[in-house]
Amino acid sequence: MLQQLEEIRQQTIVALENVLDLETLQALHSQSVGKKGQITQVLRMIGQLLPDERPRVGQRANEIRQELEIAFSERESIIKSYELARSLEEGAIDVTLPGRSIATGKLHPATQTLRRIYKIWAEMGFQVYRSPDVVDDETNFTLLNMPAHHPARDMWDTFYTTQEGILLRTHTSPGQIYAMQEYAPEPVRIILPGMVYRYEQVTARSELQFYQVEGLAVGRGIRMTDLKGTMTAFARRYFGEERKMRFRCSHFPFTEPSVEIDIECILCDGEGCNVCKYTGWLEIAGAGMVHPVVLRNGGYDPTVFSGFAFGMGPERSTMLRHGIEDIRYFWGNDLRFLEQF
């Protein structure tokens, strides 16, 4: 019986040398030292021996089992490190490669410009006021001193809806009416940013939709000098201290007097280039003193209250600042364009 045990030991040690995977190792383990393995089977027959021989055989069996268990675990760690090395080699995981970058969203260039504009007006005490994009004819035109059939309505090519008298606002000025009717007779100092819509041929310079930022200040004793000073303060912060600006006479039915505001061309510094069409100036806003009729329509007594209003188009200045040549990029949703900002 002792000899049988020695044979099991010897065979197992030789067999172990050739085992290359964990599965075979497991099988060999149960076959030799496992619960129903060869050593156990030898021990089962121990009863057939003479009583004084039994302890020696039992002791030797335990020794061999312990020795083999150690040999098995050594073999197991060898196989495991071998398998790891092999999978690294075959798996082609190159840990030095750069990781996959996670795509992050960015603010639309128009939004970035709007936020810069909001910030400057906020510093000057102007709050943001929102008004609807879909308005009636009355608010977009009539209450702004352009009754039905008034020729000035032609200044804006309008998108009418299928519902009689309902249209997409052609400018943010109807927001003045909403705001005044809400606040009268309290003083007002707001900007009204939003999308406006024009039924126009789409070209590199004009789109069907674009942003405007309207401004409105109503109170007692507001004068033209306040308009000029406020617009100058804005332009200095937005375009830089040194940038020259000028106020040009103009006409809008809802302001009197009316002006258009130009700044010195930011591309050629007033020298003249194809962007400013060799005038040296760029138009940035229309503005004026709120017309008495409009004040009254908003709920203010024009003999007591006065105010100024302006409207500017932020896309234009974004185009200039970034050298964007075609306004259609703004709403074309081409990521190759948008990702540059």
Closer residue to ligand PHE in complex, CB, 60/251: 251
CB of 182 vs ligand PHE, minimal distance in Å: 18
Should residue 306 be labelled a site residue for ligand PHE when binding is judged by CB under 6 A? no
The sign of the torsion formed by the CA atoms of 76, 81, 82, 88 equals positive
CB of 337 vs ligand PHE, minimal distance in Å: 26
Q: In sequence order, what are the beta bridge partners of 188?
A: 218
In the set 309, 319, 324, 327, which binds ligand PHE (CB under 6 A)?
Answer: 309
Question: Got the DSSP string for 28-52?
Answer: HHHHHTSTTSHHHHHHHGGGGS-TT
The count of chain residues that interact with ligand PHE, using the rule CB under 6 A, is 11
Closer residue to ligand PHE in complex, CB, 28/146: 146
In the set 37, 109, 253, 288, which binds ligand PHE (CB under 6 A)?
Answer: 288
Q: Which of residues 216-275 bind ligand PHE (CB under 6 A)?
A: 252, 255
Should residue 330 be labelled a site residue for ligand PHE when binding is judged by CB under 6 A? no
Under a CB-based contact definition with an 8 Å cutoff, are residues 146 and 138 in contact? no
Tell me the window of 21-29, 44-52, 203-211, 283-291 that interacts with ligand PHE (CB under 6 A): 283-291
CA distance 110 to 88: 49
CA distance 90 to 118: 58
Should residue 287 be labelled a site residue for ligand PHE when binding is judged by CB under 6 A? yes
Residue with tokens 């302890």: 55
Judged by DSSP in three states, 298 sits in helix
Sequence-separated (6 or more) residues with CB below 8 Å from residue 307: 188, 216, 217, 218, 219, 222, 289, 290, 295, 300
Should residue 173 be labelled a site residue for ligand PHE when binding is judged by CB under 6 A? yes
Under a CB-based contact definition with an 8 Å cutoff, are residues 327 and 206 in contact? yes
Radius of gyration of the chain (CA): 43
CB of 196 vs ligand PHE, minimal distance in Å: 7
Should residue 311 be labelled a site residue for ligand PHE when binding is judged by CB under 6 A? yes
Closer residue to ligand PHE in complex, CB, 5/144: 144
Closer residue to ligand PHE in complex, CB, 16/287: 287
CA distance 295 to 119: 27
Should residue 175 be labelled a site residue for ligand PHE when binding is judged by CB under 6 A? no
CB of 311 vs ligand PHE, minimal distance in Å: 3
Closer residue to ligand PHE in complex, CB, 193/311: 311
- Tell me, what DSSP letter sits at residue 302? T
Closer residue to ligand PHE in complex, CB, 57/191: 191
In the set 65, 171, 198, 316, which binds ligand PHE (CB under 6 A)?
Answer: 171
Closer residue to ligand PHE in complex, CB, 210/281: 210
CA distance 327 to 316: 8
Q: Which of residues 74-113 bind ligand PHE (CB under 6 A)?
A: none
CB of 310 vs ligand PHE, minimal distance in Å: 5
Judged by DSSP in three states, 280 sits in coil
For 113, the token pair is 């410009």
Should residue 37 be labelled a site residue for ligand PHE when binding is judged by CB under 6 A? no
Closer residue to ligand PHE in complex, CB, 252/330: 252
Should residue 310 be labelled a site residue for ligand PHE when binding is judged by CB under 6 A? yes
Pair type for strands 127-128 and 188-197: parallel
Pair type for strands 134-136 and 166-168: antiparallel
Alpha helices in 18-108 (DSSP H): 22-32, 38-44, 54-91
Chain residues in the site for ligand PHE (CB under 6 A) = 171, 173, 214, 252, 255, 286-288, 309-311
